[in-house]
Amino acid sequence: MKQIQNLFFKLLHTSQPVDISLNGNNLIITGGNGCGKTSFIKQLHQVLELFAKPERSVEKLSEEIQSLQREVDKGASNPNYSWYKERLPQLKKDLKDLENSKVSLLSKSEFMQEYADKYFVLCYYQAERQSQISVDDSRPSLQSLKTNESNKAMSEHFGVVFEKYLVAQKVIFNDIVATKDTDAQPQADRIGSWLVKVESDLRYLFEDDELELKFNREKQSFEIHQVNKAPFLFNELSSGFSAIMYIYSDLLMKVELKDIPAEQLKGIVLIDEIDAHLHVSLQRRILSFFTHAFPNIQFIVTTHSPFVVQSVNDAVIYDLSKRVQLEDLSAFSYQAILEGVLGVTLDSISTEELLDDLDDALNIDDFNFQKIQKFTEQLAVHEVNLSPEANLMFRAAKRQLVRIKALEKDTERKED
């Protein structure tokens, strides 16, 4: 059972409280632009961090504040006066955050113990994220990877060593198989199962049951293979898949480097704008991908995407704009969610889909003049409402069309 049962707290700079009944379910925070989704998830993370530390209880903080206040009252003659004076406001803020927050947990003592023992992750991923998986010639041993990473705080990012860890595991697996070491066979079985799990997760993410994660013996690296596509490395992923792998690789390494199976990892993971950088097709399966890969983690995410809201039937949905908890919306059309929940017109999501299609046509698919021209003509109607980033893509597509036309005319003149 996942930890958070109920949330009740006051958002900073607002008077209306947030009251959400979770009962251990995942949580999707939605609402119109400017309603405070990012502020909500940041504040919740800060509160949970305070809850995880026994020295940060209301009683302990109150005692420490009183003690520091007595020292400050002694004046500048106190040798540590400046430090006490600087420390006091932060403690008062922490106390106020706790007093304004009521987080009901399944077992607070278990939560604190597992967090202290680093068997329970509490992670917050901001909206801007790109995979940092390192793909280079250095190939450290499994032992050296574990030693180097063991002293890192769980709040740090572990995903950078994901590919190196894959290689180190595969080298050990191949060695055990080659030497027919029966004593080490259980280790080989575990590694084999883990590699199958990673490949299975990637197949789920890419919606491709034929995807293969292959080890290149000559390069000592892993490649992702798909039918009719050139093999590619983890540092060659598109921005959408890269944003997902940033979180996936980090969580996976947090447990693997401590010899905990991913399916047994417990934790609370907060993700701001889970739909950021994602094509519509990825928005539809991003949350289910994470819950599939890490079934014992409680995910709390913010989104303005109707496709995320619509994608699962076992999560609590909370509209922060209206301060209301919503029922399962998986059966509703995305148009109904857009207009009824998010207060957005269908035109805006159609524009987003067009931009996704144009991005694919420019960067992934074989160049098709007619297709790109069609997308730019459709987007021209919405040009004044495009974001700066979308406008750059739109203008780049138009320049490319002009360049191709000029080349064609130049070729025709030469032939004449």
Q: Is the pLDDT of residue 234 over 50?
A: yes
pLDDT at 345: 47
Maximum distance among all Cα pairs of the chain, rounded to whole angstroms: 95
Span 204-209, average pLDDT: 91
Q: Can you tell me which residue has the tokens 């540092």?
A: 235
82 vs 265, which has greater pLDDT?
82
pLDDT at 342: 59
Q: Is the pLDDT of residue 346 over 60?
A: no
Position 225 confidence tier, pLDDT thresholds 50, 70, 90? very high
Q: Can you tell me which residue has the tokens 């009962």?
A: 23
pLDDT at 107: 85
Q: Is the pLDDT of residue 176 over 70?
A: yes
Span 19-46, average pLDDT: 88
pLDDT at 403: 85
Q: Is the pLDDT of residue 227 over 80?
A: yes
pLDDT at 361: 78
Q: Is the pLDDT of residue 344 over 60?
A: no
Supply the pTM of this predicted model.
0.74
pLDDT at 208: 92
Bridge partners of 319, per DSSP, are 30, 324
Q: How many CB atoms lie within 10 A of CB 244?
A: 21
Q: Is the pLDDT of residue 230 over 80?
A: yes
Distance CA 89, CA 91 (A): 5
Q: Strands 26-30 and 297-302: what pairing?
A: parallel
pLDDT at 113: 85
pLDDT in tens, 271-298: 999 988 788 788 888 999 999 889 899 9
Q: Is the pLDDT of residue 59 over 90?
A: no
Span 101-124, average pLDDT: 84
pLDDT at 222: 93
Span 4-31, average pLDDT: 86
Q: Which positions ≥6 away from 304 have C-beta within 8 Å?
A: 30, 31, 32, 33, 37, 273, 275, 342, 344
Q: Is the pLDDT of residue 394 over 60?
A: yes
Position 91 confidence tier, pLDDT thresholds 50, 70, 90? confident
pLDDT at 340: 63
118, with CB counted inside 10 A (0-12, 13-18, 19+), is middle
Q: Is the pLDDT of residue 388 over 80?
A: no
Q: What is the mean pLDDT of the chain?
A: 83
**Most confident listed range (121-135, 336-350, 351-365):** 121-135
